[in-house]
Amino acid sequence: MIFVDLDALASCLASPACLVTQTTSGLIIGMLLFLVAVGLTLIFGVLKVVNFSHGAFYMFGAYFAMTAYQLSGSFALAILSGAVGTALLGLIFERAFMSRVYGRDVLMQLLVCYAFVLIFDDVVRMIWGPEFKSMGMPAAFQVPPLFIAGGVVPPYYLLLIGVALVAAVVLGLGLARSRIGKVIRAAAHNPGMVSALGINTGLIYGGVFALGGMLAGLAGALAAPVRSLTPGMGFSVLIESFIVTVIGGMGSILGALIGALLIGLIRSFGSLGFPLFTEGLMYLFMVIVLVSRPTGLFGKEVA
Amino acid sequence: MTELQAGQGAQPLEVPRIDARPQRYRDLLIALAAFSVLALLPMVFGSKQLLDFVIRCAAYGLFATSLNLLVGYTGLISFGHGMFFGLGAYGFGLMMQKTGVPIPVAFVATLAITFVVAVVIGAICVRLKEIYFAFVTLAFQMLIHSTILSWQSLTGGDQGLRGGIPRPPFLGIDLSNHLHLYITSCALLVIGLLLMRQIAQSPFGYTLRMIRDNATRASFIGIDVWRAKLVIFVLAALFAATGGIIMALFVSGAYPEFAYWTISGEGIFINMLGGVTTFLGPMVGTVLLLILNDTVTRLTEYHGIVLGIVILFFAIGLRKGLMDFVVEWFAQRRGEGRG
C-alpha cells in the first residue's frame, strides 16, 4: 500500500520521455475538462444558474457519438452528432425546465438539476444498458504512436488537443468580437436593458445553454474513443469541471482554460507521486485557491 | 394637539413577548409523547421491517433536520453535509473495532472528532457566500470520500468497514439486540430533535434567521456573522454525526456511500420535500423519501426517473415542501373562517 511515492514522481520529472507522456496525458484530461467547464462557466456567467446536470450532456455526447459511429462508420459524423444532439437537448432542457427557476432560490435550481441528473442517468441506462460500453478507436487513428523525445504520444491525442484548442479560440474570439458575442455579454451584464432594446433574451438564454451543452457534448464525443462509456460517467467529470470553474473563477473563460490545464496536470503527475490520493490532491488544490482567493484565480468580485 | 399630548393619549406600545418557558415545556411534552408512542410501537406491531424503517428514519431524520438548521434557518446551502454523516459512521465504527472502548465512550469520542473536523472545515467554508459555499462543502465531502477510498489499511477502501462492529452491552443495554437498538435509536432521535428545537427557538436561533434574511444588517447591529455561522455549522455537524452513528450501529458497518455526495443531495431533497419553514418538515420529508425509495425500488429498476419526476413536481409544480403547503393551507382556512 503506497500512499506517497515521491521517488516515482522525481524520476519521472528527470526523464524527458516520461515528462512528455505525462504532460500529454495531462493535456488531454485538461482539454476535455476545459470543454465541459467552459460551458458551465458560460451558462453561469449569462444565466446566473449553476447547471448541476452539465455532466449529463458530456455523457449524452459520448453515447450519441458511439451510436452514430456504429450506424454510419464515420468518425466525423460521430463527433458532429454528439455536438448537435446535445445542443438540441440543451435548448429543450433550458426552455422547458431551467427557464422556470431563474431568479429563484439556488436551492430550487440545484434541485431541478439534481432531478435531471437522476433522470438522465436512468434514461441512458434504459436506452444503452447499464454495462460499460466502448466505442473503439476509429480506423483512421489506428496507427503507431508518435515518439516525441522518447515519450509515447498517440496521434488521436493530438487531434483531441487540436479540436479543443480550436473550440477555445473560436469561442474566445466569438464572444469578444462578433455581434452575437457582444449581445451575449450585454445580456450577462444587464438582461433587462438588452430586452428593452428589442432583443429576445429568452432566445439568447436558450442559445447559450445550447452552446454550453454542445461543448460538453463535443467533449463527450471526443472522449468516447478513449474512455469507457457508462451511465453516471458524467458525474465525475461534472465534479472536476466544478473544481475547474471554481479555481479559474466562475464566468471566466480564460480561468476555465487555465484551471482545466492545472487540474489535468495535477491529475497526471499526481497519479505518480500520490497514486491513491490523486483526487484528494485536486480538492486540496481547490481549497487552497478558494481560501486565498474566494472568487477564483480569474473571477471578478461578485457584489 | 401638541406632540406631547398626542403621546399621552396613545396606548403604551405592547411589546409582544413570547414567554419561552411554556413553549419549552410543550416541546418537552411532545417529545415525551412521541417517544412513548415509538417505544410502545413494537408491542403493537411486532414486524421487524417496521422497526428497521423507524431506525433508518432516526438516522436520516437527525441528519436532515440538522441540515435544515443550516439551509432553512441560516440560509447556508451546504452540499457537503453528508461528510459528517459519513464521519460519524466511520469514526464510531473504527473506534469500536480498533479500541474496544464501551459504546458511550466511543459515541462521545466520535462527536469530539467530528467537532474538531467541523471547526476546521467550517472555519474555511463559512467565509464564502451562496454557491461558493455549496461548492467548497461539496469539495470537502469528496475529499473525505476519496480519503476513505484510498486509506484502505484503515477504512477498507471501497469495501467499507467489514466484519461487523462489536456492540458490547453497557448499563444493561445490549445494542446487538434488535429491540434495544430500536429503543436507543428512538431515544437519540427524540433527544436530538428536542435539542435542535431548543437551538432553533433560542435567541441564537433568531440570530441565525436574521443572518439568513439580511447578513449585512445583522453584522451592522453587532453580530459576529462569521462566528454565528461557524457555531451552527459545527452544531449541525454533531447532529449529522449522531445520525451516522445510528446508521453504523444499524448496518453494523460503514460504507463509502455514507460519505458520498449523494447523501448530501438526498438531505437537500428531504428538506425540500418536507419543507424548510417548519421545524418538523425535514422529519416528514425523511419519512416520505424513505417510503418513496422503498416502494419505487421494489416496483422498478429505474427509480432515478421516478424520483426525479417527484423532485420536479415539488420544485417546479408545488414550489414548496409538503409541510409548507400544509401550514399555508391551514393558515388560509383559518383566515377564511374568521373573515
ipTM: 0.76
Tell me the C-alpha distance between A116 and A111, whole Å. Answer: 9
The residue whose grid cell reads 413494537 is B42
- Report the range of poorest mean pLDDT among A119-133, B96-110, B220-234, B315-329: B315-329
* Greatest mean pLDDT range, A121-125, B45-49, B99-103: A121-125
Which residue of B77, B138, B311 is in closest CB contact with A106? B77
Give the residue numbers spanning the domain of A46. 6-134+143-292
- Report the range of poorest mean pLDDT among A256-260, B6-10, B64-68, B152-156: B6-10
**Beta bridge partners of residue A146, listed in sequence order:** A153
The residue whose grid cell reads 483512421 is A140
Please write the tens of the pLDDT for every residue from B285-305: 888 888 888 888 777 777 788
Using CA coordinates, name the residue in chain A closest to B71: A107
The per-residue pLDDT for B134 is: 82
C-alpha cell at A129: 444498458
* CB contacts, 8 Å: A122 with chain B: 302-305, 308
The per-residue pLDDT for B308 is: 84
Q: Is A3 a residue whose pLDDT tops 70? A: no
State whether residue A56 sits within 8 Å of chain B by CB.
Answer: no
Mean per-residue pLDDT, B134-143: 83
Mean per-residue pLDDT, B209-237: 88
Tell me the C-alpha distance between B332 and B339, whole Å. Answer: 10
* CB contacts, 8 Å: B129 with chain A: 302
Ramachandran region of residue B99, left (φ > 0), alpha (ψ -120 to 50) or beta? alpha
Q: Is B30 a residue whose pLDDT tops 90? A: no
**Residue A223 neighbours by CB distance under 10 Å:** 27
**Residue B16 neighbours by CB distance under 10 Å:** 5
Task: Tell me if A287 and B131 make a contact (CB, 8 A cut-off).
Answer: no
- Report the range of poorest mean pLDDT among A30-39, B19-28, B126-135, B147-156: B19-28
Mean per-residue pLDDT, A199-217: 90
Please write the tens of the pLDDT for every residue from A144-198: 777 776 777 788 888 888 988 898 889 888 888 888 888 888 888 888 888 888 8
The per-residue pLDDT for A1 is: 44
Q: What is the 3-state secondary structure (H, E, C) of A58-105?
A: HHHHHHHHHHHHHHHCCHHHHHHHHHHHHHHHHHHHHHHCHHHCCCCC
- Report the range of poorest mean pLDDT among A9-23, B204-218, B312-326: B312-326
State whether residue A112 sits within 8 Å of chain B by CB.
Answer: yes
The per-residue pLDDT for B6 is: 46
Domain of residue A59, CATH code: 1.10.3470
Task: Tell me if B316 and A97 make a contact (CB, 8 A cut-off).
Answer: yes
Confidence class for position B12, pLDDT limits 50, 70, 90: low
Task: Tell me if B302 and A125 make a contact (CB, 8 A cut-off).
Answer: yes
Using CA coordinates, name the residue in chain B closest to A101: B316
User: Could you give the number of structural domains in chain A?
Assistant: 1
State whether residue A250 sits within 8 Å of chain B by CB.
Answer: yes
The per-residue pLDDT for B3 is: 47
The per-residue pLDDT for B1 is: 45
Please write the tens of the pLDDT for every residue from B41-77: 777 777 777 888 888 889 999 999 999 999 888 888 8
* B266 to chain A, closest Cα gap in Å: 9
- Rg over alpha carbons for chain A, rounded to the nearest Å, is 20
State the sign of the Cα–Cα–Cα–Cα dihedral B297, B298, B300, B306: negative
Secondary structure class of B77 (helix, strand, coil): coil
Provide the Cα torsion A173, A178, A180, A181; round to 10°: 40
Task: Tell me if B132 and A122 make a contact (CB, 8 A cut-off).
Answer: no
Provide the Cα torsion B257, B262, B265, B267; round to 10°: -20
The per-residue pLDDT for A267 is: 87
Q: Is residue A263 part of a domain?
A: yes
Residue bearing the bigger pLDDT, A134 or B16: A134
Q: Is residue A258 part of a domain?
A: yes
Tell me the C-alpha distance between B95 and B84, whole Å. Answer: 16
Confidence class for position A14, pLDDT limits 50, 70, 90: confident
Q: Is residue A269 part of a domain?
A: yes
Give the helix ranges, DSSP H, for B170-221.
178-201, 203-213, 215-220
Q: Is residue A297 part of a domain?
A: no
The per-residue pLDDT for B339 is: 45
Tell me the C-alpha distance between A282 and A19, whole Å. Answer: 20
Confidence class for position B321, pLDDT limits 50, 70, 90: low
Confidence class for position A212, pLDDT limits 50, 70, 90: very high
Q: Is residue A302 part of a domain?
A: no
Please write the tens of the pLDDT for every residue from A221-280: 998 888 888 887 888 888 888 888 888 887 788 888 889 999 999 888 888 777 777 777
Q: Is residue A171 part of a domain?
A: yes
Strand-pair category, A146-148 with A151-153: antiparallel
Task: Tell me if B272 and A284 make a contact (CB, 8 A cut-off).
Answer: no
C-alpha cell at B176: 446487538
Share of chain B above pLDDT 70, in %: 91
- Report the range of poorest mean pLDDT among A103-107, A166-170, B7-11, B81-85: B7-11
Using CA coordinates, name the residue in chain A closest to B276: A107
* B150 to chain A, closest Cα gap in Å: 5
